Structure 1
Amino acid sequence: MVQPQVPHKPPRSTCSRGFPVFLPRLMTFLRVAILVGGVFLAPLQAAPPTLSHLFPAGGQRGTKFTVTATGSFTWPVKIWAPGIEVTPQADSGKLDITIPADLPADRVWLRLFSAEGASASFPVQVGTLPEVVEKEPNNSPKTAQKLEGSSLLVNGVLEGADVDSFAVELQAGQTLVAAVEANTALGSPMDAMLQIVSPRGFVLAENNDDLQLDPRLAFTAPQAGIYIARLFAFPSTPGTNIAYAGGANFVYRLTLTTGPYITHALPLSAPLPAADPQAPPATIEVTGWNLPPQARVPLVKLGTDRLPFAEFDPIDDLRNVSVNEVGLAWVPGMAGSARIRLSPFTTIPELHPGGSEPAVVLKPSSLATGWLRKKGQVDFYKVPLTKGQACVFTVESRTLNLLVDPVLKLTDPTGTTVAEVDDTGPTQDCALAHTAAHDGDYTLSVRDRYAHFGERCVYRVTARLEQTDFELNLAADAVTVEPGKPAELVVKVVRRTGPEGALGPITVEIPSLPPGVTCPPVISEPTGPTAGEVKLSLTADGPAVAVPIRISGKTSQPAELQRFARTPARLGSTSEAVWLTVTEKAP
């Protein structure tokens, strides 16, 4: 910056009050700057809170524990976390969390918010076992952290390319289940490696990718003694070098138990809960490790009425439908849990017997579960269709954290192959839409691409008739409105046409807006630019507010139908909750 030249030893003229004569001119300049630029008049506006991670990232049902929230925020901050009780401590970032003992959820979501906006929401995992926190140093078998008991969960963080080791005492023949929650469950940027080693460091068992990037294994002790569970990680996004990685956000939860551990349910779907409150509670068979044969546990809708905004399976290339809900199979005393699709379509409770004879009849619209028990096994289904019927077929396994890489093949009644599908979209699962050209039984076959088989080579197959429907999708799960400045919210519209006919106009709106906030409904017409996208314009002229809202879509053609917009998928699920912030009016 060029400095103005000042005459040497300027004469000291003063005003009547004795101030230098240039001071009134300076004050005039400042007043002009305030009026023109607003630099000095407008107060600095605080930024919305941000959240990078929580530690620990969860807790046991029926307990109270302290969590450290890391991010950028002015303390104390407000918290939105339905289903659990959260109280800020006096110390910045410290939260006291209490999880109800009977909470029917495997995780809840926590969001920080203030008058300026809100952070992204982060998961708080809900477990059943006692929990401890990792203690350093524990980098080697010699310095492994000794754990009291053989059924607990360790909360840890891999900082600075760390290696964490935990010593567990086992009896001969005991099976230790070791399971990591990190990238898949928490979004931690780590690709973990899990090993069971001897006290001298010899590797006895290992796994690196089970639940996508999260490892999990079961190890049976050949003899009594001390065994070490060892954990380290690489970056979840591969780089140019191969090296251990770590950081403050490499947060994990490690379950170590010789007790029962649930991996999944059989079948993988169930009917929607009965509307009758007097109906007996539903149960479902679960499988995993250290479980008794044909063990059954209660099955409930995820969250029941305890969570005002439910989680849903994403609606993506696999053509899930919005009427499906998520169920949870869990029981106190058992580690792990299983998510199950709750569907209004017919659910076939029996597993496919395996192979081609007899073929299972899969009448649209229905769901079935198959289990590949033998190498190279191919399962066959008969699907009765009428000429002109549009049907959607899906096979899911990898997106359910199971091990089948499915290949779907459809053959028409003449024996002609209609299509063979491997991967659909970014997933390893598959989907196929087909309009029948013949009357009769179509044959649907399912196999693993690599002929794999085993305990967790289980899949869910769906055959459903295409229905007239629509979906509303959002690019963000939060919107901030400044008084006097409209905020725009883009809503993507996906229209589906079934035998009922094409959809008419869809009215998209936000019901139950807070006082002082307005948002005129918009119409998505059947054709033209609004058929696939509309824009909501929110304005505010009232008090500051921070609340969750829903975005609704309604149509009356060809029949009355209402759907709610879904947020972007995150950690395998989506929601209808959109966070609305209306900031304070400028003074």
Structure 2
Amino acid sequence: MRRNALVGCLFGLLLVGDVRAAVPPAHTLLPAGGQVGTTVSVDVVGIVDLTGMQFACSVPEIRGVMSPDKKRLLVTIPKDAPLGLAWIRLFNAEGSSPPLAFIVGHLPEIQETEPNDRYSKPQVVTLPGVVNGRLEKGGDTDLFQTTLEAGQTLVADLEAHEQIGSPMDGMLQVVDERGFVVAENVDFRGLDARVVYTPTRAGKYAVRVSAFPSQPDASVQLAGGFNYVYRLTLTAGAFAAHAFPSAIARPNPPATIELRGHNLPPAQGVVPVPKSLPMSDHLLVHAPQVANPVAVAIEPHAVIAEQEPNPLDRPQAVPVPVTICGVIQERNDRDVYTIAVKKGQPIHITLDAVSFGSPLDALVRVRTKDGSIITQVDDVKKDADPTLRIVRDADEEIRIEVTDLYSHGGPGYAYHLRITPTPGPASATVPAEQFTFPVGQPFEIKLTIANPSGKPQSITAEGLPAGISLVEPVTIPDSKAKEVTLKLKADKPGISGGFRLRIGEKNLPSRPVLAKLGDSNRTLDWLWLTTTAEKPKAK
């Protein structure tokens, strides 16, 4: 279910001959982000002395230096830096720290000031803004107060577990001047909360942040700690819940996309689509007057919009292959589509919602024309987005129904439903986000492969540090290959730097090779290499 959602399935992992050197023991950054056009003073939680450390960022435009006393990091974010998640590493001759999440925004930044744990003495803030805070100990709560007019909608959005990796299951509550909770939310997006509240009377209202541990224990108490770091967006202005359409086609995308959400008139959320799409499977879109960016999927086939009404007795006919952009508009809403299938022809159905930040916990049912249920899927393993494959024993018309598992719904319950006669693209994973290896002999990294289409694939390397190279090209001939070996060689010890791997068919957009981050649900494609003069140790 949603608490156990894993955004992006990973497969079996194996590494040959890896040597993990001692690395800088960083845990997280505080603040875990900053505003474009500013320089941010950042505490690297876990490293007291930054002497000898060097800075690297997955977004090259973002630069960093150590403060004069070597106790903090000074991160400079240019005005034109891309919004969204970036990764920061601190490294030395021994290796790199784990990648540390750093979220780039455009709203003013607010630093939490203690004490602010009682509704009678909250921290007063000006909207809009992003609060950078930390729940420092068990039982800690943080309150941030603002003044709202009657009918003015407040949006409070918490970023902690899903992007930053904080070990917290966050809760947000809106508290009025009497101390009464008037709105609250948990687990809106994974383990991160979002609350939207419109008061009926003017007054002072505080947003209270608290958390349970992301790994439940027997205490059933509010939790905190040195790594319970969060970012809290607070606004009474425009906030995007999703884009519509939430997917676009390559090579013929629409001219514009509409951002939909709260305090967001239609004309204010219209965003132009670039004529040249990035060679990836998604695009991050943003309007200057809107608090946040949102992701849009890029599809290799036709993309259409849901057409209401489309209940079970009046389903919307759609072609195959297709991606349908829809919204479960209200409680108990059901969107139903009909397709024609051939005897023995596989049909692959994938729904994306949680994976791009939607609160929809989707249930997909496949029915016959007369309404009988053939199969239904909610979660797939630990992924909260459904995926299924069906094969029928006769030519017939089938119906595909989308709804929320708990009958929830609303303007933000967006999804895109992908229906194809072929399985999805190839994917690959590596067993770690960084590797340390000696010079003088090839170093092997085993990649775990899923290639359901069976079409030939290639693994390419981007941005290898100078002095490190591939020994030979890596190809995947068919769907039988479950692992491939990437061989690297280095000219000298002391090389350290980031790189990326990609998998794809010739002349088609490739996909990133991903590494899982520890025990969290997070993945990244910005890997790291360090070379040493040491011989590899026996495993």
User: What is the SS of the residue equivalent to 1:230?
Assistant: strand
- Structure number with greater CO (CA < 8 Å, separation at least 6) is 2
Taking the aligned partners of 1:429 and 1:173, their CA distance within structure 2 comes to 35
Matched residue count: 508
Partner of 1:76: 52
Taking the aligned partners of 1:518 and 1:114, their CA distance within structure 2 comes to 23
1:186 shift after superposition:
1.1
Describe the shift of the 1:97–1:58 C-alpha distance in structure 2 as closer, same or farther (beyond 3 A).
Answer: same
Partner of 2:449: 493
Describe the shift of the 1:363–1:574 C-alpha distance in structure 2 as closer, same or farther (beyond 3 A).
Answer: farther
Partner of 1:289: 262
User: What is the SS of the residue equivalent to 1:110?
Assistant: strand
Partner of 1:201: 179
1:274 shift after superposition:
6.3
Partner of 1:168: 146
Contact 2:185 2:193 in 1 (8 A): yes
Partner of 2:16: none
1:349 shift after superposition:
3.6
Match of 1:156 among 133, 152, 158: 133
Contact 1:509 1:519 in 2 (8 A): no
Taking the aligned partners of 1:460 and 1:468, their CA distance within structure 2 comes to 15
Partner of 1:515: 467
Describe the shift of the 1:340–1:552 C-alpha distance in structure 2 as closer, same or farther (beyond 3 A).
Answer: closer
Describe the shift of the 1:296–1:216 C-alpha distance in structure 2 as closer, same or farther (beyond 3 A).
Answer: same
Match of 1:399 among 313, 333, 355: 355
Taking the aligned partners of 1:469 and 1:218, their CA distance within structure 2 comes to 37
Describe the shift of the 1:374–1:181 C-alpha distance in structure 2 as closer, same or farther (beyond 3 A).
Answer: closer
Contact 2:38 2:76 in 1 (8 A): yes
Contact 1:481 1:487 in 2 (8 A): yes
Taking the aligned partners of 1:553 and 1:128, their CA distance within structure 2 comes to 33
- Structure 2 counterparts to residues 27-106 of structure 1, below 5 A: 47-72=22-47, 75-81=51-57, 82=59, 83-106=61-84
Match of 1:411 among 345, 367, 372: 367
1:233 shift after superposition:
1.6
Higher-Rg member (1/2): 1
1:156 shift after superposition:
0.8
Alignment partner of 1:432 is 2:388: yes
Alignment partner of 1:582 is 2:538: no
Match of 2:345 among 359, 379, 389: 389
Q: Percent of aligned positions with the same letter in both sequences? A: 33
User: What is the SS of the residue equivalent to 1:399?
Assistant: helix
Contact 1:355 1:380 in 2 (8 A): yes
Describe the shift of the 1:351–1:269 C-alpha distance in structure 2 as closer, same or farther (beyond 3 A).
Answer: farther
Describe the shift of the 1:466–1:139 C-alpha distance in structure 2 as closer, same or farther (beyond 3 A).
Answer: same
- Where does the alignment leave 5 or more consecutive residues of structure 2 unmatched? 1-19
Partner of 1:315: none
Describe the shift of the 1:104–1:357 C-alpha distance in structure 2 as closer, same or farther (beyond 3 A).
Answer: farther
Alignment partner of 1:239 is 2:205: no
**Which deviates further from its counterpart, 70-79 or 338-347?**
70-79
TM-superposition CA deviations, 1:361-401 (whole Å, max 9, x none): 22122111222234433222122333443321112323333
- Structure 2 counterparts to residues 298-313 of structure 1, below 5 A: 298=271
User: What is the SS of the residue equivalent to 1:496?
Assistant: coil
Alignment partner of 1:110 is 2:91: no
Taking the aligned partners of 2:415 and 2:389, their CA distance within structure 1 comes to 19
TM-superposition CA deviations, 1:510-529 (whole Å, max 9, x none): 5775436553446656598x
User: What is the SS of the residue equivalent to 1:461?
Assistant: strand
1:77 shift after superposition:
1.3
User: What is the SS of the residue equivalent to 1:373?
Assistant: coil
Contact 2:173 2:209 in 1 (8 A): yes
Partner of 1:373: 329
TM-score, L = length of structure 1 = 0.78
1:420 shift after superposition:
2.1
1:189 shift after superposition:
0.8
TM-superposition CA deviations, 1:384-421 (whole Å, max 9, x none): 33344332111232333323322222235687654222
Contact 2:133 2:230 in 1 (8 A): yes
1:113 shift after superposition:
1.8
Contact 1:413 1:443 in 2 (8 A): yes
**Which deviates further from its counterpart, 172-181 or 385-394?**
385-394
- Structure 2 counterparts to residues 440-459 of structure 1, below 5 A: 440-459=396-415
The letter for the 2-side match of 1:173 is G
Taking the aligned partners of 1:524 and 1:286, their CA distance within structure 2 comes to 39
User: What is the SS of the residue equivalent to 2:375?
Assistant: strand
Taking the aligned partners of 2:394 and 2:324, their CA distance within structure 1 comes to 24
User: What is the SS of the residue equivalent to 1:173?
Assistant: coil
- Where does the alignment leave 5 or more consecutive residues of structure 1 unmatched? 1-44, 276-280, 306-322
Partner of 1:329: 285
**Which deviates further from its counterpart, 166-175 or 532-541?**
532-541
Taking the aligned partners of 1:338 and 1:67, their CA distance within structure 2 comes to 26
1:358 shift after superposition:
4.0
Contact 1:352 1:369 in 2 (8 A): no
The letter for the 2-side match of 1:568 is A
Taking the aligned partners of 2:294 and 2:127, their CA distance within structure 1 comes to 22
TM-superposition CA deviations, 1:518-554 (whole Å, max 9, x none): 53446656598xx211233434342531233344567
TM-score, L = length of structure 2 = 0.84
Describe the shift of the 1:292–1:584 C-alpha distance in structure 2 as closer, same or farther (beyond 3 A).
Answer: same
1:437 shift after superposition:
3.5
Taking the aligned partners of 2:504 and 2:295, their CA distance within structure 1 comes to 30
Taking the aligned partners of 1:431 and 1:238, their CA distance within structure 2 comes to 28
User: What is the SS of the residue equivalent to 1:432?
Assistant: strand
The letter for the 2-side match of 1:138 is N
Describe the shift of the 1:436–1:101 C-alpha distance in structure 2 as closer, same or farther (beyond 3 A).
Answer: farther
The letter for the 2-side match of 1:202 is F
Describe the shift of the 1:271–1:478 C-alpha distance in structure 2 as closer, same or farther (beyond 3 A).
Answer: same
Taking the aligned partners of 1:560 and 1:266, their CA distance within structure 2 comes to 29
TM-superposition CA deviations, 1:548-575 (whole Å, max 9, x none): 33445677xxx87785661125577645
Alignment partner of 1:567 is 2:523: no
User: What is the SS of the residue equivalent to 1:143?
Assistant: coil
The letter for the 1-side match of 2:168 is M
TM-superposition CA deviations, 1:450-486 (whole Å, max 9, x none): 3223222332211012169633221222211122465
Question: Over aligned residues, Cα RMSD in angstroms?
Answer: 3.2
Describe the shift of the 1:225–1:207 C-alpha distance in structure 2 as closer, same or farther (beyond 3 A).
Answer: same
Partner of 2:8: none
Partner of 2:111: 133
Taking the aligned partners of 1:46 and 1:424, their CA distance within structure 2 comes to 36
